[in-house]
Structure 1
């Protein structure tokens, strides 16, 4: 009697987190969230995706090239961070649904996808374009501060969907506050390292972004 050859082992699936946003500017809390996702979800990669044309924001953003460069500066220390200009290169409003479709259709190997979002984004998720499709396509990784737990919005409460928690320490950092401080004339270099990384602070200072009386550039 001859024995059957061993069955080949199933190929391991890659685990990729998607982190989108205006990143105007990218700050310490963004980086802390991405690093937490790497550890907590055992990701192979966090893909940073600066938004092109945000359909839910009315204000003018800094120029795409500047926002892309700031994200590249903030993430250069971690080889598992990948900056992807997919939405900057696409015409029309930036819908996460379209981005996920494109990434999944072009993936070279089997992949589990995680959408990294904050609790406010989770609460507003039913307002997103194609949100039912997104629930089927990936797992929602929701940032939780302190002892808070992600509470599903009413529209999602009765729907089966995959959600995991990302525990984060309290960080009082926001892009809105950073822009306001710079608009009042604060030296960008004084923001590092508590609010933004030193490379991002230097980039803002070099290009005089968010300076008093100036429009986003």
Structure 2
């Protein structure tokens, strides 16, 4: 068994960051004994089917969302990187910066289903241990990609950034359970900057 320091990586649009993102970070730290978890908001996401909110807003929201979690650091490298953003490049940089650490890449079940479309996905598996936040359907998936894929056990939370953006666009933010989907600081930021409003 390896006794190297463990560095976790959790990337995504975080548009906006919500309670399921926070839960994943908490369970990742605990289950895998990470020394640190990097939260990495994506820059130019080539695979997204919608226009992302401006990166300074997503970075600010991520910092607000995760500021209370010990050893969880928001990393802005992908937002600052020119051109398309690839997880492979990020892992390569982190490995060069932390050559003695074992890298763990955490992804959700929705990302897992599309993993084989990722840029240099085979090389990602060589750089980091892939960990999937377990939800229905992921069990068969990891056997197709690699038997070394690990599972992150966490509760299934019925919340998505897509739903949150839709609620804001429809001006239904006051209806429950919306207030339970976001950290209060993130909700305040969204309202302060009128994000996700169709008429902004």
Q: By how many angstroms is 1:94 displaced?
A: 0.5
Deviations 1:28-60 (A, max 9, x none): 101101111011111111100000000101321
> Is the partner of 2:132 in helix, strand or coil?
strand
Q: By how many angstroms is 1:213 displaced?
A: 2.3
Distance 2:36 2:198 in 1: 37
Q: By how many angstroms is 1:163 displaced?
A: 1.5
Q: By how many angstroms is 1:120 displaced?
A: 2.3
Note if contact 1:47-1:82 (Cα within 8 Å) is conserved in structure 2.
yes
Distance 1:127 1:154 in 2: 16
Q: By how many angstroms is 1:12 displaced?
A: 4.8
Q: By how many angstroms is 1:123 displaced?
A: 2.2
Higher helix share: 2
> Is the partner of 1:18 in helix, strand or coil?
strand
Pair member with larger Rg: 1
Counterpart in 1 of 2:152?
A: 166
Q: By how many angstroms is 1:153 displaced?
A: 5.8
> Which residues in structure 2 correspond to 1:87-126 (within 5 Å)?
87-107=78-98, 110-126=100-116
188 and 14 in structure 1: CA distance in 2 versus 1, 3 angstrom threshold: farther
Query: Aligned match of 1:49 in 4, 17, 40?
Result: 40
Counterpart in 2 of 1:3?
A: none
- Asked if 1:27 corresponds to 2:13, the answer is no
Distance 1:126 1:196 in 2: 30
Counterpart in 1 of 2:61?
A: 70
> Is the partner of 1:60 in helix, strand or coil?
coil
TM-score by length of 1: 0.85
Distance 1:78 1:153 in 2: 29
- Asked if 1:151 corresponds to 2:140, the answer is yes
Structure 2: give runs of 5+ residues left out of the alignment: none
- Kindly tell me the number of residue pairs found equivalent between the two proteins: 198
Distance 1:75 1:87 in 2: 17
Counterpart in 2 of 1:129?
A: 119
Counterpart in 1 of 2:186?
A: 200
> Is the partner of 1:151 in helix, strand or coil?
helix
Distance 1:182 1:188 in 2: 9
Counterpart in 1 of 2:171?
A: 185
Structure 1: give runs of 5+ residues left out of the alignment: 1-10
Distance 2:13 2:142 in 1: 23
Q: By how many angstroms is 1:188 displaced?
A: 6.8
**RMSD of aligned alpha carbons:** 2.1
Distance 1:138 1:15 in 2: 10
